[in-house]
């Protein structure tokens, strides 16, 4: 090999040494940061995939945070539901203890009424003070808006539980196919006007209805009107009312539907004289009180936009195309006492509480949180609103304890239904969304790790290899530099 000033071996070694130093620095960076990709040139395709995965994971983590906040909000609402339910239970107890007015003084009934008033005030206070992040939850602020209900005597108590995300209003037509019916039975064929027929001897009967049973003792010589009064005095306990007719005394349930029923069991007596002035039994058995088997009412049969709706007496529920709601038919409309067989209303594409459960707008769900104030609770199946239980109302203890019992039970049923729907949304929609998103986040993070993270074992081995090469290059650089010394020796 010729000896020249230009030392090609030195230049080659310097180039190799530079490349090994750069590779060594890359390994050190990967081990220091824990990332395989630190710059775009490390892995351009991997960096692109990593950017998409990172953006998707960020969206998933944001959605998880949104759902956790939604869950917290609904938990606050559920706690308020629970407290209102406890207060309604107390009201029911007070009403039930006041239905037997014979063994209570007026002062005791007044005291019970005062407690009921306090409980109703407490319910309204809870409704007005339950809030989350400054927004009231139970005062109707999150109710889904409707139109065509105010002033419509054919339906009332409309509650929209959820709606779809369509941007146009939804019109609904309610068609009555068959009327709701009361449960009915004949108590006794006490024909004629007062003073022509009367009971002969003491009669003891058990009258039972949807609210419960009552054992009545009817004294001898009671007229048709007096028997009707005795039965109606127990209406709050039984849910059964008596009607004085020309030919008989008939019994009706106080509510409509298949759950309403009437039954009569004669324990003793039951004899009715056709001639009121007769001192002894006249032997006419056709007028006597007789036991009757359980007879039930009938639920209304209706269709909403051509689809059969679920009914319970006069109460109806409808679910289709993301829309879920409930309402109460007007008594005249639901029982077929009016000429109209159809009525309509509109669910507006506004209002409600909208939550995004996933990472895009297609996962939005809107639920309705109607007001739980006493003026808006109850009213189902033709019952009175809960606010009417206050002193001076149409269903207070003094005016109509039976209506009060029906109202509070309907309010309890309504509250339980609303709470169950919110709980179902919280568990099956929000809860499942959180679980699904958590699993999604783990998968995305795992995919990112496969692309981005440093393999420490492999990179450490590579660093050791590069260190050996750099050290060997430095040593060899000293050898080839001796060529310059050889040229000087020749000179």
213-254 per-position pLDDT tens digit: 999 999 988 888 899 999 998 888 899 999 998 888 999 999
Provide the whole-model pTM: 0.79
Token pair belonging to 19: 């490349």
Among 183, 181, 154, 166, smallest CA distance to 345 is for 154
Structure tokens at 202: 């003491």
Q: Look at residue 278 and tell me if it is in a domain.
A: yes
How deeply is 247 buried, as exposed, middle or buried, from its count of CB atoms within 10 A (0-12, 13-18, 19+)?
A: exposed
Residues in the chain predicted with pLDDT less than 50, given as ranges, are 194
Q: Where are the alpha helices (DSSP H) in 99-218?
A: 106-129
The predicted structure's pLDDT at residue 6: 62
Number of domains in the chain: 1
Q: In this structure, are strands 240-244 and 249-256 parallel, antiparallel, or unpaired?
A: antiparallel
Q: Which residues pair with 263 in a beta bridge?
A: 208
Tell me, what's the pLDDT at 466? 84
Beta strands in 116-202 (DSSP E): 131-132, 135-136, 144-147, 155-163, 170-178, 182-188, 198-199
Assess if residue 265 is contained within a domain. yes
| Cβ-based neighbours of 87, under 8 Å, separated by 6 or more | 119, 122, 123, 126
Q: Report if residue 236 sits inside a domain.
A: yes
The answer to whether position 253 is within a domain reads yes
DSSP H or E run through 266 = strand 261-268
pLDDT tens per residue, range 88-121 = 999 999 998 887 766 778 888 899 999 999 999 9
Nearest partner of 427 among 36, 136, 70, 51, judged by Cα:
70
CA dist 29 and 35 (Å) reads 8
Give the distance, in angstroms, between the CA of residue 27 and the centroid of all CA atoms in the same chain: 57
- Give the model's pLDDT for residue 217: 93
Name every residue whose Cβ is closer than 8 Å to that of residue 99 and which is 6 or more positions away in sequence.
236, 237, 401, 402, 405
- Residue 474, in any domain of the structure: no
Q: Assess if residue 275 is contained within a domain.
A: yes
Give me the domain span that covers residue 285.
182-296
Could you give the CA distance from residue 208 to residue 240 in angstroms, rounded to a whole number? 7
**Does residue 153 lie within any of the structural domains?**
no
- Strand-pair partners of 272: 199
User: Across the strands, what pairs with 136?
Assistant: 131
Q: How would you label 409-439 residue by residue, b for 16+ Cβ within 10 Å and e otherwise?
A: bbbbbbbebbbebbeebbeebbeebbebbee
Q: What is the DSSP letter of 385?
A: B
- The verdict on residue 223 lying in a domain is yes
């Amino acid at each position: 090999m010729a000896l020249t000033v230009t030392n090609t071996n030195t230049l080659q070694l310097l180039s190799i040494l530079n490349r090994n130093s750069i590779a060594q620095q890359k390994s050190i960076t990967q081990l220091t940061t824990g990332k395989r990709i630190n710059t775009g040139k490390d892995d351009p395709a991997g960096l692109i995939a990593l950017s998409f995965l990172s953006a998707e994971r960020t969206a998933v983590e944001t959605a998880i945070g949104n759902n956790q906040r939604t869950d917290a909000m609904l938990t606050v609402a559920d706690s308020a539901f629970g407290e209102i339910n406890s207060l309604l239970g107390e009201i029911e107890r007070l009403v039930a203890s006041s239905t037997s007015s014979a063994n209570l003084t007026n002062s005791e009934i007044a005291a019970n009424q005062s407690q009921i008033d306090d409980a109703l005030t407490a319910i309204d206070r809870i409704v007005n003070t339950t809030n989350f992040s400054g927004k009231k939850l139970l005062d109707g602020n999150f109710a889904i808006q409707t139109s065509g209900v105010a002033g419509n005597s054919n339906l009332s108590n409309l509650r929209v539980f959820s709606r779809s995300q369509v941007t146009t209003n939804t019109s609904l037509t309610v068609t009555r196919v068959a009327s709701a019916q009361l449960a009915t039975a004949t108590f006794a064929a006490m024909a004629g006007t007062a003073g022509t027929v009367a009971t002969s001897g003491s009669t003891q009967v058990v009258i039972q209805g949807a609210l419960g049973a009552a054992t009545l003792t009817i004294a001898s010589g009671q007229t048709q009107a007096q028997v009707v009064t005795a039965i109606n005095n127990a209406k709050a306990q039984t849910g059964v009312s008596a009607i004085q007719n020309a030919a008989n005394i008939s019994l009706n349930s106080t509510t409509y539907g298949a759950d309403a029923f009437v039954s009569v069991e004669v324990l003793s007596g039951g004899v009715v004289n056709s001639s009121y002035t007769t001192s002894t039994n006249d032997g006419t058995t056709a007028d006597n009180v007789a036991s009757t088997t359980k007879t039930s009412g009938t639920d209304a049969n209706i269709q909403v936009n051509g689809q059969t709706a679920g009914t319970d007496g006069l109460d109806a529920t409808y679910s289709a195309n993301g829309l879920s709601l409930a309402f109460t038919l007007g008594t005249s409309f639901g029982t077929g006492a009016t000429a109209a067989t159809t009525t309509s209303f509109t669910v507006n594409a506004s209002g409600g509480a909208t939550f995004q459960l996933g990472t895009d707008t297609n996962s939005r769900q809107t639920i309705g949180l109607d007001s739980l104030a006493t003026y808006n609770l109850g009213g189902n199946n033709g019952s009175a609103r809960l606010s009417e239980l206050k002193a001076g109302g149409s269903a207070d203890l003094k005016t109509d304890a039976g209506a009060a019992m029906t109202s509070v039970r309907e309010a309890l049923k309504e509250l339980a239904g609303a709470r169950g729907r919110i709980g179902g949304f919280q568990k099956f929609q929000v809860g499942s969304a959180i679980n699904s998103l958590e699993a999604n986040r783990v998968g995305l993070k795992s995919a990112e790790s496969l692309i981005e993270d440093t393999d420490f074992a492999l990179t450490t081995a590579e660093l050791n290899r590069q260190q050996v090469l750099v050290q060997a290059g430095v040593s060899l650089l000293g050898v080839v530099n001796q060529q310059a010394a050889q040229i000087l020796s020749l000179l």
